[in-house]
């Protein structure tokens, strides 16, 4: 990997999350390394990070009405986990407790969700789970370091139980009545598979489990059929290929980041094609710039379509490194 890129990422002044993750994930520094510890301490204390912690701690914030609402506290949780915060960091335990006290009878962590009557739901704010929110909560809880907890184990078991031979389908708690996404019941839901695999990637012994294999195959098959097949309105076209963060919806970097954790995908030529499509978006200096952005995150480098983003560059390089792909 290019030394100039690593130097840029490991010394960027205003993104301690990028410095920290670069040192640990790309330069293989141990967590007790002095530079890594300093970068992590700066990250935890950073005003933007503390603001996210406060928003996560106010869970649920407001009822979730659409699952690509990038401003919802759900995605503050997942972003904090992506950055590398952990249970025990200031404010994180309170935020985790706010999530973990709300559990469904089935075992999943619950969100406050509003499903209109027109879509088969109760038409009021209701605690429950849907296949495109509960796995993100589970990912965040696991990545933030809560692994040895009966509530977490029950949520993992529930998530695995929802898998089918063609991956995860649209599913919801009984209190949401007849709610279902706009596709066929027997079809897999691409974003549900991304979220589910993202959570299971945090459980090493499940990375090669039948459910994970089925979910990975679903996503790889969808890539193979790009331009031809849509599931639940999710297609693979020009917008899918644009680099975007936070990891909220169905796009190439989100999918590649998730799939790169699974042994079954790393030797798959379809995944290599996906990784090549990401690598091709680097500029002459090997840096990556957002192709799309969420307005709710305007002001962060990864929500700037005019300048290379250190964090997006780190994310892309980490996927490429897992595939032994060089820039």
169-200 pLDDT, tens digit each: 999 999 998 888 887 889 999 999 999 999 99
Token readout for 5 is 């890129």
- What is the H or E stretch that residue 112 is in? strand 111-114
Q: In the prediction, which pLDDT does 69 show?
A: 96
- Check residue 176 and report its DSSP letter: G
Q: In the prediction, which pLDDT does 119 show?
A: 86
Distance CA(67)–CA(182), nearest Å, equals 14
Mean pLDDT across the chain: 96
C-beta atoms surrounding 147 within 10 Å: 14
Residue 244 class from Cβ within 10 Å (0-12 exposed, 13-18 middle, 19+ buried)?
A: buried
245-255 pLDDT, tens digit each: 999 999 999 99
pLDDT band at 118 (very low <50, low <70, confident <90, very high): confident
pLDDT band at 233 (very low <50, low <70, confident <90, very high): confident
Rounded (10°) angle between helices 73-83 and 92-100? 130
pLDDT higher than 80, residue 327: no
Q: What CA–CA distances, in Å, run from 190 to 65, 72, 75, 215? A: 19, 21, 18, 9
The topology under which CATH files domain 60-322 is: Glycosyltransferase (1.50.10)
272-313 pLDDT, tens digit each: 999 999 999 999 999 999 999 999 999 999 999 999 999 999
pLDDT higher than 80, residue 127: yes
Say if CB 288 and CB 300 are below 8 A apart.
no
pLDDT band at 32 (very low <50, low <70, confident <90, very high): very high
Q: In the prediction, which pLDDT does 38 show?
A: 98
Distance CA(287)–CA(94), nearest Å, equals 37
pLDDT higher than 80, residue 107: yes
pLDDT higher than 90, residue 325: no
pLDDT higher than 80, residue 130: yes
pLDDT higher than 80, residue 1: no
Say if CB 264 and CB 275 are below 8 A apart.
no
Q: Cite the residue boundaries of each domain of the chain with CATH code 1.50.10.
A: 60-322
C-beta atoms surrounding 326 within 10 Å: 11
């Amino acid at each position: 990997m290019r030394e100039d890129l690593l130097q840029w990422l490991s010394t960027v002044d205003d993104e301690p999350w990028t410095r920290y993750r670069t040192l640990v994930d790309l330069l293989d520094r141990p967590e007790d390394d002095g530079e890594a510890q300093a970068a992590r301490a700066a990250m935890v204390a950073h005003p933007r990070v503390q603001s996210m912690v406060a928003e996560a701690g106010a869970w649920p914030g407001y009822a979730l009405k659409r699952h690509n609402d990038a401003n919802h506290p759900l995605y503050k949780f997942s972003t904090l986990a992506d950055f590398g915060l952990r249970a025990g960091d200031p404010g994180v335990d309170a935020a985790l407790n706010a999530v973990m006290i709300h559990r469904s009878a089935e075992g999943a962590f619950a969100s406050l969700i509003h499903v209109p009557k027109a879509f088969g739901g109760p038409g009021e704010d209701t605690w429950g789970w849907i296949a495109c929110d509960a796995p993100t909560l589970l990912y965040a809880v696991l990545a933030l370091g809560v692994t040895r907890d009966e509530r977490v184990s029950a949520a993992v078991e529930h998530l695995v139980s929802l898998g089918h031979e063609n991956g995860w389908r649209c599913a919801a708690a009984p209190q949401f009545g007849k709610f279902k996404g706009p596709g066929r019941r027997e079809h897999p839901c691409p974003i549900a598979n991304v979220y589910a695999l993202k959570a299971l990637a945090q459980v090493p012994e499940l990375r090669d489990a039948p459910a994970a294999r089925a979910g990975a195959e679903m996503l790889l098959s969808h890539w193979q059929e790009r331009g031809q097949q849509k599931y639940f309105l999710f297609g693979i076209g020009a917008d899918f290929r644009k680099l975007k963060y936070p990891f909220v919806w169905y796009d190439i970097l989100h999918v590649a980041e998730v799939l790169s954790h699974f042994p079954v995908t790393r030797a798959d030529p379809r995944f290599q094609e996906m990784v090549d499509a990401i690598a091709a978006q680097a500029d002459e200096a090997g840096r990556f710039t957002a192709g799309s952005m969420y307005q709710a995150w305007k002001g962060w480098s990864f929500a700037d379509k005019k300048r290379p983003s250190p964090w997006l560059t780190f994310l892309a390089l980490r996927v490429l490194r897992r595939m032994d792909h060089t820039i």
